[in-house]
Amino acid sequence: MEKMSLTTSGTFGDVKVKNRIFMAPLTRMRAGNDGVPGELAAEYYSQRAGAGLIISEAVQISEHGKGYPATPGIYSDAQRDAWRKITDAVHAAGGVIFLQLWHVGRISHTSLHPKEGLPVAPSAIKPSGQVYTAAWALEDYETPREMSLSEIDALRQSYVHAAKQAKLAGFDGVELHAANGYLLDQFLQNGSNHRTDAYGGSVENRCKLVLEILNDIIPVWGSGRVGIRLSPYGEFNDMKDSDPVGLFAYLIEKLNPLNLSYLHLIEPRATSAGGSDQIAEGAPSTGKLFGKSFKGPVVLAGGFNKENATAAIEQGEADAIAFGRIFISNPDLPKRLAHDLPLTPYDRATFYGGSAKGYTDYPLAD
Ligand SMILES: Cc1cc2nc3c(=O)[nH]c(=O)nc-3n(C[C@H](O)[C@H](O)[C@H](O)COP(=O)(O)O)c2cc1C
């Protein structure tokens, strides 16, 4: 059998990929205030079509799901039509692209959705830290409003609507964002979920919403075109759980019968928002802890370079590696990794907001 490497093609559910170098979801905050992706997004994503799979930046499923200025949505028809131009450009360049379905929950501010009012969450627990308001001013988080059961039902409908919109927009699949301390992660972990109803308390109850939403959107896409992203041990956005191993082992076990396209796990050793390059010493490896319990393809992300990514693939720890920050500054990353070409360093100052600088102007290798 051929030895597997980063450049080996593969099948992830119903999706064929040309290599195992994936583009991680990367919020760039360059959309219009109406959540319509910006004019440059088609060029930005098609420049990166060499990835085995592009996972889009997180895309809000509803107005209330928005948590930062200038992030894109998929719920309106104008947003959907703008995404269509992007997926067309990616496909024309030979790429494959999933949309990441996002609701931020409490990681938000009223100014970003004034009609909806306070951010919502499983429980009225204020996260520590600060948030960018609609005017890009930093303010403390507000205490979110606890979601009612009827709001949870409506939320599930919003995910289905967004999944259908993503299909109409020409994506190749969707990734459910249940990581990094956003709404679904807030339901999973008991630092943020203190509910006493069917969505809180036991591990089973806290996993209920994620599993319901997956079962809601699978009929839209087929299970082989739905992935999920989790961040066990991630502390970003003030997350904590009293027993992360028990929680995520249970959830992954429940994912197995769904036959998803892939499970995407973030390693806690790198920060998830690009705030620092520090690798947390001694942090447990999510790939090692949880990867083997998942029966389908596993994608790992977080602090990977050619060397450790190659090792993870060769040792069967991962089926693909999603690269974040170095994909921002190296649009042709797969080619550079394959041929050991030098990498362009990224400029953190241009990660969020702005226009072409640090977005579409990183050079291709000669
Ligand atoms: C600028 C930036 C934006 C990000 N946006 C998202 C996002 O929208 N969705 C998500 O799941 N993760 C997001 N992340 C996390 C990345 O997908 C990835 O997990 C992280 O950067 C670690 O991988 P790396 O070490 O290869 O950069 C973001 C990270 C950065 C640096």
Does a structural domain hold residue 314? yes
CA-to-CA distance for 189 and 238, rounded, in angstroms?
Answer: 11
Which pair of structure tokens corresponds to residue 187? 């339901």
- The answer to whether residue 358 is domain-embedded is no
Residue ranges of E strands in 167-213: 173-177
What is the best residue among 185, 325, 330, 343 to mutate for testing ligand 1's pocket, by most ligand atoms within 8 Å of CB?
Answer: 325
Q: What is the CB-side half-sphere exposure of residue 126 using CA atoms within 13 A?
A: 11
Asked whether 301 lines ligand 1 (CB < 6 A), one says yes
pLDDT at 269: 62
Q: Mean pLDDT, to the nearest integer, of 93-104?
A: 98
Integer Cα distance of 197 and 210 in angstroms: 16
Whole-number Cα distances in Å, 306 to 79, 312, 321: 35, 10, 10
Q: Tokens 């953190």 — which residue?
A: 348
Domain-located, residue 362: no
Rounded alpha-carbon distances, angstroms, from residue 261 to 4, 16, 251? 19, 10, 16
Task: Name the phi and psi angles at 11, rounded to 5.
Answer: -125, 125
Q: Quick check: 48 and 329 in contact, CB under 8 A?
A: no
Over residues 5-35, the pLDDT tens digits come to 999 999 999 999 999 999 999 999 999 989 9
pLDDT for the residue 282:
61
- For CA atoms 335, 43, 177, 107, give the dihedral sign: positive
Is the pLDDT at 1 greater than 60, yes or no? no
What is the pLDDT averaged over residues 183-191? 98
d(CA 71, CA 51) in angstroms, rounded, equals: 22
Residue 323 domain-assigned?
Answer: yes
Q: Any idea what the CATH number is for the domain that residue 63 is in?
A: 3.20.20.70
The response to whether residue 341 sits with its C-beta less than 6 Å from ligand 1 reads: no
User: Is the CA virtual torsion 162, 74, 95, 262 positive or negative?
Assistant: negative
User: What pTM does this model have?
Assistant: 0.97
Q: What pLDDT score was predicted for residue 273?
A: 43
Would you say residue 5 lies in a domain? no
> Using one digit for the tens of pLDDT, what is the confidence trace for 329-349?
999 999 999 999 999 999 999
State mean pLDDT over 86-107. 98
What is the mean pLDDT of the segment spanning 199-210? 98
- Dihedral angle of Cα 18, 324, 290, 225, to the nearest 10 degrees: -50
Question: pLDDT value at position 69?
Answer: 97
- Ligand 1 pocket member 351 (CB < 6 A): yes
Nearest-angstrom CA–CA distance, 171 and 126: 35
Active-site residue set:
182
Alpha carbon distance 306, 119 (integer Å)? 40
Coil, helix or strand at residue 21: strand
Which tokens in the block code for residue 309?
Answer: 């990514």
- Whether residue 206 is predicted with pLDDT greater than 80 in this model: the reply is yes
Closest atom of ligand 1 relative to the 24 alpha carbon = 17
- Indicate if ligand 1 lies below 6 Å from the C-beta of 58: yes
User: In degrees, to the nearest 5, what angle opens at C-alpha 298 toward C-alphas 296 and 302?
Assistant: 165
Residue 359 lies in a domain: no
Say which residues have a Cβ less than 8 Å from residue 154's Cβ, sequence separation at least 6.
none
pLDDT digits (tens, 9 = 90+) for 242-297: 999 999 999 999 999 999 999 999 997 654 444 444 445 566 788 888 888 999 99
Q: Which residue range(s) make up the domain with 248?
A: 10-350
* Residue 144 burial by Cβ neighbours in a 10 Å radius (0-12, 13-18, 19+): buried
Number of domains making up the chain: 1
Per the structure block, which two tokens stand in for 354?
Answer: 């702005």
CB-CB contact of 262 with 268 (8 Å): no
Cα(232) to centroid(ligand 1), Å:
15
Which pair of structure tokens corresponds to residue 15?
A: 């999706």
How confident is residue 227, by pLDDT bands cut at 50, 70 and 90?
Answer: very high
Whether the per-residue pLDDT at 366 is higher than 90: the answer is: no
pLDDT digits (tens, 9 = 90+) for 52-73: 999 999 999 999 999 999 999 9
More confident residue, 283 or 117: 117
Q: Does the C-beta of 177 come closer than 6 Å to ligand 1?
A: yes
Flag whether 4 is in a domain.
no
pLDDT value at position 235?
85
Residue 2 CA, ligand 1 centroid: distance in Å: 31
Query: What is the pLDDT of the chain when averaged over all its residues?
Result: 95
What is the pLDDT at residue 286?
A: 87
- How far, in Å, CA of 321 to CA of 23, rounded? 8
Give the residue-averaged pLDDT of 323-329: 98
Residue 366 lies inside a defined structural domain of this protein:
no
Contact 223, 261 (CB under 8 A): yes
Which of 274, 340, 330 lies closest to 306 in space, CA to CA?
Answer: 340
At residue 222 the predicted structure's pLDDT band, cuts being 50, 70 and 90, is very high
Separation CA 137–CA 130 (nearest Å)? 10
Interacting residues of 157 by C-beta distance below 8 A, sequence separation 6+: none
In degrees and rounded to multiples of 5, residue 203 shows phi and psi of -55, -40
Q: Is the pLDDT of residue 318 over 70?
A: yes
CB 64 within 8 A of CB 102: no
